[in-house]
Structure 1
Amino acid sequence: MNSKNIISSVGAIVLYFLIQILVLKNLVLFGMAFCFLYIIYLLLLPIEIKTIPLMLIAFILGFAIDIFYDSMGLHTASAVVLAFLRKPWLQVITPTGGYDSNTPPSLLNMGIGWFLMYSLPLILIHQLTFFFIDNIATSLYIPMIYRTLSSTAFTFIIGVIVQVLFYKKRRGI
């Protein structure tokens, strides 16, 4: 990774963090759907990134979000679970020819079908982990399922909109 990529990656993580805590923190649709856009940043990191560095990035980002949300580790735990499962999931959905090196797994680079199959299960696992830990002491499982599904759809839709509006198609470096 050259210095230009490192600077743009740090800028992107700061931007996703600021949008999450300043804009999306209090945005809830119908009292059920939360948008956790910061996980899109984790999903859009290059495919070649190893699991441990990705988990460290997810830990730092989740911990920073937890500080501003006062959520006592919910974001940290669910982001680390997402980071842990990302590489095995990418291996499961690897196309026949493999992936291009240094190509981000974005909607514009991979197509809507592939991106749907890649991101939706990982977003669902993140949301399920988040809301399960949040509701662990209660028996309110039906509202938890509603929150999980609606938040997954909301996060995915906002993530697609962000990619279409602000990302360019980029091939290997």
Structure 2
Amino acid sequence: MAKILTYNIARFIVLLMLQVFLFKNIGYYNLATPYPYILFVLLLPVGIPNVILYSLAFMTGITVDAFYDTLGVNAAACVALAFGRIALIRVSLQTDNYESYMTPLWGTVPFRWYFVYVSLLTLFHHTVLFLVETFTFHQFHYTLIRILLSCIFTVVIILLFSLLFYRKKQR
């Protein structure tokens, strides 16, 4: 249990540092902006209580908001991500087959499930993030393009991170 806590604290610090100092400056003409910090919320253990999940998601989002000077936009998107994560895990993952402390990593769950899990939740997070950020339907097609391109960019980066830390022996 202490090992899982240590991994999650290290993951939180590393992902937020990468987001704030590296990925904040990476973008493609303000159309595709990566947000791989959401991987922290996605990789929390399956059996984590909902109150702790929502608190950690809010803390992650508000920390990014502090560095981005956005007033709670990332916090709202992260709490929505936590809500979507709970719903998707309940619907798609049979938690009886997995331990409650298991993190949904590429090595512990099938790749197809992991890819759908990351893609759907990233799309959900980015939709909430960009719609709350713009808060208008003026130039909705531009916002939709930003959502899709940022989602693709973020999913590719998350899959690259997962490939770097892939352990075949976990399966």
* The two structures share one fold, judged by TM-score above 0.5: yes
In the alignment, which residue of structure 2 is the partner of 1:7? 6
* Range with greater deviation from structure 2 (29-38 or 144-153): 29-38
1:16 partnered with 2:15: yes
Structure 2 counterpart of 1:120, which letter? S
SS in 2 for 1:80: helix
Root-mean-square deviation (Å) = 1.8
The corresponding residue for 1:100 is: 98
Q: Which residue of 2 aligns with 1:144?
A: 143
Give the TM-score normalised by structure 1.
Answer: 0.91
Contact 1:20 1:37 in 2 (8 A): yes
* Runs of 4+ more than 4 Å apart: 169-172
Quote the residue 2:111 is aligned against.
112
Instruction: Find the aligned partners of 1:104 and 1:169 in 2 and give their Cα distance.
Output: 15
Match of 1:164 in 2: 163
Name which of structure 1's ranges 39-48 and 109-118 shifts more when overlaid on structure 2.
109-118
TM (norm. structure 2) is 0.92
- Deviation sequence 1:103-160 (CA, Å, 0-9, x none): 2111222122111221211111100000001111451211110010111111111000
Structure 1 gap ranges (5+): none
Per the TM alignment, residue 56 of structure 1 is displaced from its structure 2 partner at its CA by: 0.4
Q: Does the alignment pair 1:39 with 2:38?
A: yes
User: Is contact 2:8–2:40 with CA below 8 Å preserved after alignment?
Assistant: no
Unaligned runs of 5+ in 2: none
Quote how far apart the aligned CAs of 1:82 are.
Answer: 0.4
Q: In percent, how many aligned pairs have the same letter? A: 26
2: CA distance, partners of 1:123 / 1:73: 18
Q: Give the CA deviation at 1:3.
A: 2.2
- The whole-number CA distance in structure 2 between the counterparts of 1:4 and 1:64 is 24
Q: What amino acid does structure 1 have at the position aligned with 2:45? A: P
CA distance in 2, matches of 1:30, 1:111: 35
Deviation at 1:23, TM superposition (A): 0.4
Q: How far apart are residue 9 of structure 1 and its match? A: 1.3
8 Å Cα contact 1:104/1:170 also seen in 2: no
**How many residues get paired?**
170
CA contact (8 A) 1:16 1:38 kept: yes
Q: 1:26 deviation in Å?
A: 1.2
Q: Which residue of 2 aligns with 1:67?
A: 66
In the other structure, the counterpart of 1:55 is 54
Using the TM superposition, name which of 49-58 and 132-141 deviates more.
Answer: 132-141
